[in-house]
Amino acid sequence: MKLHSQFLKLHSHYGGETEVSATLDELALILGCTHRNALHIVGKMVQQEWIIWTPSRGRGRRSRLEFRVQSEEIALQSMMQAISRKDVHSAIEGIRTHARSSSLQDTLQGWLFTYFGHHTEIRSDKQIDTLRLPITQQLHTFDPLYMNLLTESFVSSHVFDGLVRQSGNHGQIMPGLAHAWDTDESRTVWTFYLRKEVLFHHGKVLTAEDVVYSFQRLMQTSQRTLYSYIFKEIQAVAALNPTTVRIQLKKPNELFLPFLGTSRAAIVPRDLDGLGESGFGRRPVGTGPFKVAEMSEDTCVLEVFPYYFQGRAHLDRVEILYVPWHIEGAAAETGSAFHIIQNPSSSADPSSWSRIHSESWVRKFVTCNTKKKGPLSDPLLRAKLVACLRESTNSDSNTEADLADPADIAGSGAVSPVALQIATIPQYTADAEAISARLAGHGFACTVVCVSPEEFKGPIRLESDLIVFSLFRDQDEQLRLFDLYLTLSQHVEPLTRVDIEGWLHMISREPDPQARAEDFKRIEDRLIGEHHLHILYERPSQTDYLPSVRGVTFNSQGWVDLRHVWFPPKV
């Protein structure tokens, strides 16, 4: 690998010339090594038949260096070596560094994609099916308490189980680790009856004490986390016997049962199997269909858990690799090894691929923080800002009055731009910068502040004027909406906040999901009408896959459920 890089460095230095004259001292300077090491490197390249070196006698005399192979060929060899070592980062960096043309980049990237998809090997007369998946978000933890990213939740959903689960069809609540449950008339006392002989990945049997530990851990955490508005309402949790758990709420909440089907409410072994919270996040132990066999900054390897209580998965192994590269342009040719693409490119050839839509959407939005004393406290200025954001889709309808200077609307008459701070997380930086650029031409001077998801939960939101984020609209949408609007109520004027909190209180007591949806729509309309909320766009989540992939179904979050994926054996 290093020799490949050294060759490419020399080839690049001489501008791709086939034949040049050089001294060993010059080569040593280019390669950043000693005269002796340069001679050794040249010798190795000669042995590989990459170059011809015709030395001249005497130090300092110029010798002839002839390149016998193209840099593209060496770059491709380097990429393939990196891929075979699972060093995808080096492969990608090589593509960025050495691909001087789009055709070469496509070739190198195509080689990279052959690493992904379905691969079969025979071990001890058994067929081992491996699925390799690329993701564009780096995985940090699978601990249900600390997860921040959807990709972490995706992996977690295959490692852990909850007391209940939501089916992929219209959010129906189905049995999970609990095969049955009931509640009292007040709907504050819930009793769950656990399945017997369910095994954790380390071989221990699940008991009610594990469930108690999992929920007490949520109740006691100081961690700012999704859905905390629900589990902070748990008053007590107790094991009545090894297979029965009772959970008492402080007040009734009709979102409590759906919450139990989320990855946040996954059941972990009591005492985290002695790993501690940091260790457990990297090597978690659950009851799910797959167990974590390997976890690093770039790679997560899942192996099938053959004793899964709902039946063994068809796949034997899933390798998930962090690829900081735009992968949506994967070649969609029949026979490609890249069998499953989440959110594929619209340029994919429909004749080669099957496309399936899950019932999930991604909505990007921007909100105005009017609790902060600043320019957005003025409703007219907020209206102007939203009009500017709509300009790209409604440019023909804008009048000169519509695009008046925000400073004039605010009544200041000043010529200086209105300064605004936009807060977001790394995944949405491009959206925030696009907003900043769009507003720049209309009297707004925006500064984008990008922080980690964990920091985003802190004071940065209330310190900013605009907040860019997203809502994943899946079977957990009402849980997410409740969390979203509870958060947004902190950013608005007192009167609007009182109304929102009142609607949320009614929602938590409403057993009918459709009625809850109508109340959520009232909140949305109120926030949009007062220019607190602007929806940037909404896109469906979809998956392309080759016809050779069987069993493609979705879980409640719109992700492919890996437990059911299988590939017909070759006969």
Q: Which pairs count as long-range contacts for 148-157, CB under 8 Å and 24+ apart, including other chains?
A: 148/453, 148/454, 149/453, 150/472, 150/557, 153/263, 153/557, 154/557, 154/559, 155/300, 155/302, 155/320, 156/263, 156/266, 156/284, 156/286, 157/263, 157/288, 157/555, 157/557, 157/559
Do 508 and 515 meet the contact criterion of CB atoms below 8 Å apart?
no
30 exposed, middle or buried (CB, 10 Å; 0-12, 13-18, 19+)? middle
SS3 364: strand
The partner residues of 117 in beta bridges, in order of sequence, read 132
Q: What is the pLDDT of residue 411?
A: 46
pLDDT band at 321, cuts 50/70/90? confident
Q: What is the pLDDT of residue 278?
A: 77
Q: Does residue 132 register a pLDDT over 80?
A: yes
Please name the residues in contact with 409: beta carbons below 8 A apart, sequence gap of 6 or more: 378, 380, 381, 384
d(CA 422, CA 434): 11
Q: Does residue 491 register a pLDDT over 80?
A: yes
pLDDT band at 529, cuts 50/70/90? very high
Do 253 and 510 meet the contact criterion of CB atoms below 8 Å apart?
no
Q: Does residue 424 register a pLDDT over 90?
A: yes
User: How confident is the model over 190-213, as a mean pLDDT?
Assistant: 97
Q: Does residue 333 register a pLDDT over 50?
A: no
User: How confident is the model over 138-158, as a mean pLDDT?
Assistant: 88
d(CA 564, CA 315): 8
Supply the mean pLDDT for the chain: 82
pLDDT band at 314, cuts 50/70/90? very high
User: How confident is the model over 311-326, as a mean pLDDT?
Assistant: 83
Q: Tokens in use for 526? A: 């109120």
pLDDT band at 46, cuts 50/70/90? very high
Q: State if pTM tops 0.75.
A: yes
Least confident of 96-105, 265-274, 295-304: 96-105
HEC per residue, 512-524: CHHHHHHHHHHHH
> Residue 73 half-sphere exposure, CB side, CA atoms within 13 Å?
7
- End-to-end CA, the chain: 38
Beta pairing, strands 466-473 & 354-368: antiparallel
Can you list the positions of beta strands (E) in 195-258?
Answer: 234-241, 244-249
Q: Does residue 354 register a pLDDT over 60?
A: no
Do 2 and 85 meet the contact criterion of CB atoms below 8 Å apart?
no
Do 432 and 460 meet the contact criterion of CB atoms below 8 Å apart?
no
Least confident of 264-268, 360-364, 493-497: 360-364
Please name the residues in contact with 411: beta carbons below 8 A apart, sequence gap of 6 or more: none
pLDDT band at 554, cuts 50/70/90? low
Residue with tokens 């999704």: 226
User: How confident is the model over 487-514, as a mean pLDDT?
Assistant: 92
User: How confident is the model over 23-48, as a mean pLDDT?
Assistant: 91
pLDDT band at 550, cuts 50/70/90? confident
Q: Does residue 104 register a pLDDT over 70?
A: no
Q: Does residue 410 register a pLDDT over 50?
A: no
Q: Which residue has the higher pLDDT, 541 or 327?
A: 541
Q: What is the pLDDT of residue 564?
A: 86
pLDDT band at 53, cuts 50/70/90? very high
Helix 2-13, helix 24-31: angle, nearest 10: 120
Nearest to 178 by CA among 260, 290, 69, 58: 260
